[in-house]
Structure 1
Amino acid sequence: MNNTYLLMFITLYLVSYFYYIKISKGLGHKAEYLQLRRFFPCALLAVLPMYLTQTPLTYIPYIISLITGTLWVTIYPLLYYLTYHKASSDFGFHLDVVFGLYITSWLISLKLLVQYLNIAVIPLLFIISCMEFIIVLIPITQILYYSVYKSCVNDSSIMLMRETDHNETIEFYKSLPITIQVLIPIILISAFAAINAGNQFLVQTFIHIADYNFYILIAATLFLTFYLWNTKKGVFIRTGIIELLLDVNKYIKETNLYTANLSERLKTLQVNPTTPNFDKPSTIIMVIGESESRDYMSAFTNYQYDTTPWLNKMKKTKNFILFPNSYACKDQTVPALERALTEVNQYNNKKFFESCSIIDIAKKAGYKTYWFSNQGHIGSAETAITLVANTADKAEWTKQNLNKPQYDETLLDYLKTVNPSENNFIVLHLMGNHFNFINRYPQNFAKFSKPNKYDLIPNYLDSITYTDYVLQQITDFAKTTLNLQALLYFSDHATIPDKRRSPNFAGFATVRIPMFLYLSDEYIDKNKQVVKNINDNSTKYFTNDLIYEFICGILNIKSNHYDETNSIASEKYKYTKEMLKTNLGELWIKDDNI
C-alpha cells in the first residue's frame, strides 16, 4: 500500500476512533480498547477497493461514497450527544461508525466492479445511485429534524410519523411557506441528480484490476453485503437510528397481540349488572376531542372571547359537570388514547395487549357498541386506537377526500344509523382542533378570523367554537332520538396553536385538556350516589389515562377489571394533584405553574 492509501487509512482510523470517544459517555477502558481494534479493519476496508484498483482517492464516485459513509459515522451519534449529553451518563454508538466505514467500502466496491466488468454500466450505476441516495437521505432527514426541533429523532417522533395519516401529511406540507414547498422537491431531485452524475463521471474510464486483486475485491464485496445487510445480525439494523425504528416496530407488533388476546380477556372479564338500569332502551356516548386546550375555552377560563357559547350556558344547569383540572397523560394522540381507552395507565404496569377496554366493558354491561371516527385510521390499522375501535359491534370511519376537509358534523349522519330501540354505547372520535385549524370548520363559521385567511390563533379559536357547535348538535340529537343518559367529552391532548407541532414535550400547555359530562334527569335520579361522587370530585385533578375507570363509574358497574380508586366517579377516588403525572409518567402535574 503506497503512502497515499496508507495515509488515508490512518486518517480514517484515527479520526473515527477519536470522534467516537469524544461523543460517547460512560465508556470503560475495555470498550475503548475494543473499538480501537474494531475500527482497524473498518478503516482498512474503506480504502482497500481504491488500493486494489489503484484508483486515485480523488475519484469522484469514491468521494461520494466517502461522504455517504461520513454522514453515517457522524450524524446520529452527534445529534444524540447534543440532545442527551447533559441528561444521560452512558451511551455510545460504535456500530454507526462501523456502518459508515463499511458502507463507504461497499458502495465504491460496487461502482468499481461495474466499471471493470463493463456490462450495462449506466443502468447499474443508476441503480447504485438510487441506493446511495436512500442511504444518504436517512442522516440528512435527521439533520433537518434536529434543525427544526433541536432534538435528535426519538421513539416518540417515529411513532408520530407512523401515526400520521395522508390528510395530515398533505395539510402539514401545504401549511409550509410556498418557497419551502417548492424548494423541497427541487433539493431532493437535485441531490439525486448530483449523486447519479458523480457516479456516472468518467463512466468510460477503464478500471484495471489484477486477477488476484479482483478476487479479493469480490470477496470483500460479498462479505460486506452479508455483514451489512443480513436481517439477524447485520450492522445496518444495529445502528442507532435503525435500532430505534425496529424498537417502535416491535412495540407495534406487541400491540397487535391485542386482537389475538381478545377472546381470552373476555373469558375472564366479569361485569355486573349485565343490563342497563333505565326505564327504556338508552344510550351512553363518549366523544373524544382532538388537540383542544381548555386555556382557550371560555367555559373553563376567563378567556377574553366567548369561544364556547353553548357550553357556557349548559354548565349552569344541573345536568352538566365540568372538570377544570383535567390533563392529558401524553401530548400525542395514540399513546394518550391507548391508555384512556383501556386499563393501561401511568400508574400501573399493565400491558395494552393484555388489558380490557371500554368497549369490552360496555358489551358485558349489555350495550351494543359503536365507534364512529372522523380521524381516518390514524395512518395505520395497527395503532392501539384502531385495534380497540375494531372490537366494537360496528366501527366506521368517515370517507376522507385527501384534498377536501371532512367536518366533524358529518358524524351526525352516522349517529342516525344507530337503532334507538337498543341499549347503545357510542364512541365518537372528532378531528376537533387538529392542525391545520382553518380546515376544521366551514368558513361560514369564521368568527375570530377572516374567512379563508390562514391565521393560527384566530383559526384555532374558530375551530373551538365549531367544536362547541358540533357537541351541541350531537347532544341534542341523542337526547331527542336515542334516549341519551350520559355524554362524556374530553380531548386526547391540547396544543399551543401558534407553536410548531413537536414530537417532544413542549410544556404543560400541551396537556391541559377540557372534560365535561352531561347526565340526564333520569340518570341523576337512578344513580344518586354516582352523581354525588362526580360532583364532589369535579374540581379534583385528573389525567385522561383514567378515562377507562371513569366510564366504568358512569356505567355504574362492578368488575374484576375495574379499580374504583382510579375512578373520579367513585367516592374511593384516590388521586391528588401531587400524585398525578403526565408525559407517560415522566413529569408531575404539580409542577404546572398556572
Structure 2
Amino acid sequence: MKNIKKYFSVILFYPLLIVTILGWFLIPYFKPYLKEIIGFGIVTTILFSLYLLIPKLKIQKWFLIASILLLAALAFIKLSFYYHYNVKLSGSALFVIFETNTQETSEFLSYYLNTSIILLAIVLFLPWLFLIPFILKQESSLLFTDRLKSVKWKILIVLGIVLSLFIIHKKFSEHNIIYTSIASYSDYQITKANLKKTLAKSASDILKVHSSDEKPQTYVVIIGESTSRWHMQLYGYERETNPLLTEIKDELVIFKDVITPNVHTILALDKILTFSDYKHPNKEENASIVQLANQAGFTTYWISNQRPVGLHESVSTLIGNASDQTYFLATDNYNSNIYDEVVLPKLDEILTQGDEKKMIFIHLIGTHGDYKKRYPKKYAFFNDSPPQTPFITKSNEHYVNEYDNAIRYNDSIVRSIIETVRKEEKSSFVIYFSDHGDELHDTMDLRGHNEYYGTPPMYEVPFVIWTSPEYKNQHPNLSDLNSFTDRKYNLENFIHSFSDLSRIEFNLMDKSRSIFNPEFQERTRWIKENEDYDNR
C-alpha cells in the first residue's frame, strides 16, 4: 500500500490513456492518431516533470490536481471535437469560438451535447471526485525519491522540459490545443484591432468615389446565414423549399456557381464585405461595402437579426456600425426562438424616411442551427422522409426536415423583402446570398460546417438578384444579367460586384472582378491552404 501511494501520481497519465483508447475509434487514419497521442503524451510528460521539481508537499498536491483537471479538460475538448467533426480543433474553428458569446455557447451545447459526450465527460472527470480528497489527505510526498533531490537529475528534467517544448513547437503545434489556442487568439486580436481601426469608421481613407447615380434609388443587400443552395428548390432541390421565390423565378437572376471564401461566418464576412481576400486576409488598409456606400452619398442602414455581442465586438457588428443607422433586433434571449420576420417592420419604417438614396443591409439569422428555432410552428412543412442520400438515417432525418423548413421560411422572408421594395417603384435591386452553407448528410455523414472537410454544400451558396423595372430602364447595359449566370465566382470579390450593380465608380474598382461586368475574368477560386476549389 505504501508503494502504491508513493507512485500514485502516475494517475496524471489517465487522460492520456483515455485519449489513446478512444482516439483509436474517433481519429480517422493512423498518422493523425499517432501525432495526437505523441503530442498529448509530451504535454502530459511536461506537467509530470514540473510536478517532480516541486519541493513543497502542499504545492505539489495542488499542482497535481490542477494538472489532472487540465489534461482531462484538454482530452474532453479534443475527443468531443473528433466525435462531432472527425477532425482536430483548428485555428479557424477557434476563431469562431472566440467570436461566440455565452448565449451562443449555450445554444451550441444544447445542440451538440448528447449521451456519448456526457459519457465521455463522466469517464474523464468523475474519478477525480473520489481521488482528489485522497490526494489532499496525503501527509508525505506522493513521488519524491532521494534521486530526484539531486541537482543533476533536476537539470536533466529541466532540459527534458525545454526539449519537449521545442518538439511541440516544431512538430506538434497544430495538435496542441493550448499552443493553437494562444496563437489563434493572438491572430484573432490582431484581426479585431485592424477591423476597428479601418472598418468601424463611416468613411475610409483609401476610398475615392468618382461618381454615383444621384436619382432616387433603393438598394437592399440581404446577407443570409448557413444556407446552402443544395437544399434550395431554386437550384434543383427535390423539395419545395422556395415556393415563393419560384413564383417570381422569371424576375430573378439566379447565379449557378457561386461559392463563399470560407465556411465560418467571421472569416467569410471579412472577405465578402471588404477588400480582404485569400491572398490578403485581414488587410491593414481596408474598407467595406458600407463605407463605400456612405462615400457614394447613400444613407446607409444596417438591420441585423443576429446578436451584436456588445458594441464593436462581432466582425459583422464592426462593419455594420459604419452605417448611418444601425438596428440590432436580436439582443436578448439569443438561445431561444429567433425569427427573421422581425426585420420586415423595420424595413417598412426605413422606407418611409425621406432619403432619396437608400442602401439597406439586412443580416438575417437565416438557417443558423438550431434549425428548429429559426421558423414558427406553422412553417413545419416537412415531416416525412427527405430525399435520401447514403448518409441519411432514421436518426438524422428530423435534422434535414428542420433545415428544409428553415429554408422554406427563409424563402418567405426574402420574397417579402422583394415585394416591399417593389412597392417603392424606384430604381431598386435586392441581392441575396449566404455567408456559407451547412452539410446536412448530403455528401458525408456530417451536420453543420467545418473547414477541414469543406464539403460542397458548405461552400456552394445562393446568389440571387431581383431588379425593378425602373432599374432596368435606367441601366439597360445591366438588363441581361441572365447571360452571366454560369460564371464561376468567389464571393471574396463581392465588393467589386456590389459597386458595379450600385453604379458606384471609385478608385479601387476592378471590373474584371465583378460578376455583372462584361470585362469579368474567371479566377482560381482558392480555399483552405492553396486548394483550388474547382480542381479538388
Q: TM-score, normalised by structure 1?
A: 0.73
8 A Cα contact 1:163 1:379, kept in partner:
no
The answer on 1:583 being equivalent to 2:520 is no
Shift of 1:588: 3.3
Q: Name which of structure 1's ranges 477-486 and 437-446 shifts more when overlaid on structure 2.
A: 477-486
Indicate the residue corresponding to 1:549 in structure 2.
496
Aligned-partner residue type, residue 353 of structure 1: E
The correspondence for 2:275, drawn from 336, 343, 360, is 343
Aligned-partner residue type, residue 525 of structure 1: N
8 A Cα contact 2:380 2:405, kept in partner:
yes
Indicate the residue corresponding to 1:204 in structure 2.
139
Shift of 1:386: 3.1
CA distance in 2 between partners of 1:459 and 1:69 (Å):
38
Describe the shift of the 1:128–1:58 C-alpha distance in structure 2 as closer, same or farther (beyond 3 A): closer
Describe the shift of the 1:219–1:266 C-alpha distance in structure 2 as closer, same or farther (beyond 3 A): same
The correspondence for 2:369, drawn from 420, 426, 435, is 435
Shift of 1:543: 1.8
Aligned-partner residue type, residue 261 of structure 2: C
Shift of 1:65: 3.1
Shift of 1:138: 1.5
Indicate the residue corresponding to 1:149 in structure 2.
85
Question: Structure 1, residues 171-209: CA drift from partner, whole Å, max 9, x if none?
Answer: 343334753475465445414425524523x52347898
Shift of 1:485: 0.9
CA distance in 2 between partners of 1:70 and 1:219 (Å):
26
Indicate the residue corresponding to 2:45 in structure 1.
101
The answer on 1:243 being equivalent to 2:196 is no
Aligned-partner residue type, residue 328 of structure 1: T
CA distance in 1 between partners of 2:143 and 2:499 (Å):
77
Describe the shift of the 1:134–1:93 C-alpha distance in structure 2 as closer, same or farther (beyond 3 A): closer
The correspondence for 1:514, drawn from 443, 451, 462, is 462
% identical equivalent positions:
20
Shift of 1:474: 1.9
Shift of 1:509: 2.4
Indicate the residue corresponding to 1:421 in structure 2.
354
CA distance in 2 between partners of 1:352 and 1:207 (Å):
53
Superposition map of 1:91-490 within 5 A:
99-110=43-54, 113-115=56-58, 125=61, 129-176=65-112, 179-180=115-116, 183=119, 186-187=122-123, 189-200=125-136, 203-205=138-140, 240=173, 241=176, 242-255=178-191, 256-261=193-198, 266-274=204-212, 276-278=213-215, 280=216, 282-301=217-236, 303-317=237-251, 320-346=252-278, 348-349=279-280, 351-377=282-308, 382-397=313-328, 398-418=330-350, 420-422=353-355, 423-449=357-383, 455-480=398-423, 483=426, 485-490=428-433
Describe the shift of the 1:102–1:400 C-alpha distance in structure 2 as closer, same or farther (beyond 3 A): same
CA distance in 2 between partners of 1:357 and 1:209 (Å):
61
Shift of 1:454: 8.0
Aligned-partner residue type, residue 62 of structure 1: S
Q: TM-score, normalised by structure 2?
A: 0.80
8 A Cα contact 1:57 1:63, kept in partner:
no
CA distance in 1 between partners of 2:281 and 2:6 (Å):
57
Shift of 1:560: 1.5
Structure (1 or 2) with the larger CA radius of gyration = 1
Describe the shift of the 1:213–1:403 C-alpha distance in structure 2 as closer, same or farther (beyond 3 A): closer
CA distance in 1 between partners of 2:424 and 2:490 (Å):
32
Find the residue that maps to 2:440 and give its secondary structure.
coil
Shift of 1:573: 0.6
Indicate the residue corresponding to 2:486 in structure 1.
539
Superposition map of 1:41-60 within 5 A:
56=3, 59-60=6-7
Find the residue that maps to 1:488 and give its secondary structure.
strand
Indicate the residue corresponding to 2:11 in structure 1.
64
Question: Structure 1, residues 493-517: CA drift from partner, whole Å, max 9, x if none?
Answer: 2222233235222421222211111
Describe the shift of the 1:217–1:473 C-alpha distance in structure 2 as closer, same or farther (beyond 3 A): farther
| Structure 1 vs Structure 2 CA RMSD | 4.2
Q: How many residues align?
A: 507
Higher RCO (CA < 8 A, seq sep 6+) = 2
Q: Which runs of 5+ in 2 are unaligned?
A: 385-395
Find the residue that maps to 1:433 and give its secondary structure.
coil
8 A Cα contact 1:307 1:465, kept in partner:
yes
Aligned-partner residue type, residue 477 of structure 1: T
CA distance in 1 between partners of 2:96 and 2:339 (Å):
23
Aligned-partner residue type, residue 49 of structure 2: S
Question: Structure 1, residues 81-115: CA drift from partner, whole Å, max 9, x if none?
Answer: 946699xxxx99999766543310223554x6225
Shift of 1:139: 3.6
CA distance in 1 between partners of 2:157 and 2:94 (Å):
32
CA distance in 2 between partners of 1:337 and 1:84 (Å):
31
8 A Cα contact 1:490 1:515, kept in partner:
yes
Question: Structure 1, residues 301-359: CA drift from partner, whole Å, max 9, x if none?
Answer: 1x332211111111213xx211122222222222222111012223x546433222111
Find the residue that maps to 1:173 and give its secondary structure.
helix
